Amino acid sequence: MDEEEEEGELEKDEYVVQKLTDICYGGIDRKSCIYFKVQWKGYGPEEDTWEPIENLSDCPLKIKEFVQEGHMRKVLPLPGDVDVLCGGPPCQGISGLNRFRNRDDPLNDDKNRQLVTFMNIVSYLRPKFVLMENVVDILQFAEGYLGRYALSRLVAMNYQSRLGIMLAGCYGLPQFRMRTFLWGALTTMVLPKHPLPTHNVVIRGGAPNAFTQSVVAYDEIQNPTLKNALVLEDAISDLPKVGNDQADDVMEYLVKPKTEFQRYIRLSRKEMLDYSFGDKTGPGEGTLMDHCPLRLNKDDYERVKRIPFEKGANFRDLEGVRVGPNNVAEFDPEIPRVYLESGNPLVPEYAIKFRSGKSLRPFGRLWWDETVPTVVTSANPHSQRILHPSQARVLTVRENARLQGFPDYYRLDGPIKERYMQVGNAVAVPVARALGYSLGLAYLRKHDGSDGPMLVLPANFFSPGQTEAVVPADEVAEE
């Protein structure tokens, strides 16, 4: 209840709202509704909680106060106040894990409605610029229904629009990660361009046939100078050895950076961003955060220990598995089934049956000379290659963060599973930086559309010193 409405003694389990301090919509394990962060009267900030709006029906004055204060501080903007609106509305209804996908009318699926909400916000706020990020499946599922919807909504709102498919590896990361980026700009503004690759990453499929021309790459007749693609070793070979049960502690690096990428990623916030003030929020000099893996259960840990420490190793290398016709994994009838101490089988049924037995992902080990496919939101080894090349564990939160380009000074928050999710859901940092540079040029009207829809980034836009080589630029797509 509001403080103003407090009378007499409170009933049991009844509390007084001191102030509403923040707002969000939904979240992990929450209902799909508006939530307010509540500061309770008589309690410290560590006791603040997120409450659904339905729980605050007795607090209209506090809600009014929050809205008025937000308007004064421009936390809650009005139409015409917004320069840039960025977002990545999830479209979980098109996920391959969803067996009941609605191909006839994808927007009728509640799991895809956030795309509609995003466009409705654009319609209401009328920002000068719009940037939407999403998975490439929005251009593939149901003949690109959702991607075409997003593009047509912007055009219908009288926005200039431009769609491009970009790979994180092409901008200085050892990760492919193909994503769709949709620009929008009012007709009074300059439409931003998609930045061209700086690194040579060979594309092996991934872009929908109808949108291959949207892949951001140099023309075949061009012969640009691109830097060599980065591999896993470039990113994580300097990190300390940790075990499956590593505590979530701050630790020291132990060795100096071995590559230019490592030297750059270990810079402090002040050094990286050239701040003129001290950095009091990051780790101390020479310390490392979030270098801990998801702790595997006893059975999975035993399986991981038995996966050979060699390139290409996976569950097929476990005792009792053979590869039959058409490269399909199956149990070897000539070898008795092997069981773990728990009584569960060494080779689980789900590994054999995953992708009809043709997948190499379950309990797959990454290797030092690889550009990894895509950092995802989970560290579960049952259906993906995420085992460390030389240690019996999955990649740590920090290792995943490096593959996404997050500097080591970034402090991630929450339980370990949520930190993996934060990293996996993010836009790769170098890609975001390149897009931000393009946006800045457009905002300042430093370029126009006369020289095409793509932008050449300045030399050494990313970490300097990496070997350059002249390579064919048309070989730029995902594993």
Whether residue 471 is predicted with pLDDT greater than 90 in this model: the reply is no
Tens-digit pLDDT profile for residues 207-244: 888 888 899 998 877 888 899 999 999 999 999 999 99
* HEC per residue, the chain: CEHHHCCCCCCCCCCCEEEEEEEEECCCCCCCCEEEEEEECCCCHHHCEEEEHHHHCCCHHHHHHHHHHHHHCCCCCCCCCCCEEEECCCCHHHCCCCCCCCCCCHHHCHHHHHHHHHHHHHHHHCCCEEEEEEEHHHHCHHHHHHHHHHHHHHHHCCEEEEEEEEEHHHHCCCECCEEEEEEEEECCCCCCCEECCCEECCCCCCCCHHHHHHECCCCCCCCCEEEECCCHHHHHCCCCCCCCCCCCCCEECCCCCCCHHHHHHCCCHHHHHCCCCCCCCCCCCCEECCCCCCCCCHHHHHHHHHCCCCCCCCHHHCCCEEECHHHCEEECCCCCCCECCCCCECCCHHHHHHHHHCCCCCCEECCCCCCECCCCCCCCCCCCEEECCCCCCECCHHHHHHHCCCCCCCCCCCCHHHHHHHHHHCCCHHHHHHHHHHHHHHHCCCCCHHHCCEECCCCCCCCCCCCEEECCCCCCCCC
Whether residue 300 is predicted with pLDDT greater than 80 in this model: the reply is yes
Whether residue 306 is predicted with pLDDT greater than 50 in this model: the reply is yes
Whether residue 280 is predicted with pLDDT greater than 60 in this model: the reply is no
Whether residue 443 is predicted with pLDDT greater than 90 in this model: the reply is yes
Domain boundaries, the chain: 3-72, 84-228+430-470
Span 447-469, average pLDDT: 69
Whether residue 31 is predicted with pLDDT greater than 90 in this model: the reply is no
What is d(CA 207, CA 473) in angstroms, rounded to the nearest whole number?
16
pLDDT at res. 466: 40
CATH fold group of domain 84-228+430-470: Rossmann fold (3.40.50)
pLDDT at res. 104: 75
Band of residue 474 on the pLDDT scale cut at 50, 70, 90: very low
Tens-digit pLDDT profile for residues 411-440: 999 999 999 999 999 999 999 999 999 999
pLDDT at res. 97: 55
Tens-digit pLDDT profile for residues 351-374: 999 999 999 999 999 999 999 999
Please indicate, yes or no, whether the overall pTM of this predicted structure exceeds 0.75: yes
Tens-digit pLDDT profile for residues 364-410: 999 999 999 999 999 999 999 999 999 999 999 999 999 999 999 99
In sequence order, what are the residues at sequence separation of 6 or more whose Cβ sits closer than 8 angstroms to the Cβ of residue 368? 231, 232, 233, 237, 389
Greater pLDDT, 332 or 30: 332
CATH class of the domain at 3-72: mainly beta
Span 437-464, average pLDDT: 84
Which residues are part of the catalytic machinery? 91
Whether residue 21 is predicted with pLDDT greater than 50 in this model: the reply is yes
- Span of 92-101, 170-179, 218-227 with lowest mean pLDDT: 92-101
pLDDT at res. 9: 56
Mean pLDDT of the chain: 88
